[in-house]
Amino acid sequence: MIEFGLQHFLTGIDALGWTLLAALALLSLTSWTFFIAWILRSVFAAGHRRRFAARVLGEENGIADAMPPVPGGAACEAALLAEIQESLRLTRAGERFTAAGGLAAHLTRALRQHLDRAAVAREGGLTLLATTAATAPYLGLLGTVWGIYHALVRIGSSGEAGLAAVAGPVGEALIMTALGLAVAIPAVFAHNHIQRRNRLAQAALEDFATTLLRRATVPAMPAHGPVGERGLGLAVVGRGAEG
């Protein structure tokens, strides 16, 4: 009689099967570790970024000369503010940025460089999730094919036939496919969730940069302009980058 079941599947697995199981376990562990760490880091950093931006944009008279305390997670916003402050300091010292096309053009290019760097930095870790989502199902499928091959060999050597003799061992082999999907599906969810949050964070950072740019070039700008004006500001920064 041919035995089957989860325990029999684990005891009968060979070196390749254990290698595939170890690879799936490693991919799952690293993906979940990265995702949980990213969530914790993102939650704390988002609050720090909002408070830092509110403190900077709460200034009534343009851009403050001194850098306010920079909390953890607001390094990108601090870099944008430092770029603005340094350019304004040079302007007060007599620099006109003639070769760069004026202060506005110089700041537009400088802020766009910082924004591009921030966007690239946010991509870190997404390769791991994408690789897990794309690879895990195929690792599981390979394990299933290998398991079915060995199951058929055992059935042939036992001399038994019929649905009962085939269904159990083949069902055991399908466990590998299920494990591959169990690893891949959370990775797909995590990848899409992080991508969406990154887009939102990048949009907020561009809005912050645009407001700083307008305050630096138009010091009389109100503390909080209408949403429509900020949208035009994003277009200004984008055109500067393209130029």
Residue-wise pLDDT tens digits, 106-120? 889 999 999 999 999
- Mean pLDDT per 10-residue interval, the chain, length 243 residues: 55 79 94 94 87 80 76 84 88 83 89 92 90 94 86 72 65 85 96 94 91 78 42 41 39
Instruction: Give the pLDDT of residue 161.
Output: 62
pLDDT digits (tens, 9 = 90+) for 126-141: 999 999 999 999 999 9
Is the distance from CB of 217 to CB of 62 less than 8 angstroms? no
Instruction: Give the pLDDT of residue 1.
Output: 45
Instruction: Give the pLDDT of residue 205.
Output: 92
pLDDT digits (tens, 9 = 90+) for 79-89: 898 888 888 88
Q: Whose CA is closest to 132, among 184, 178, 189?
A: 184
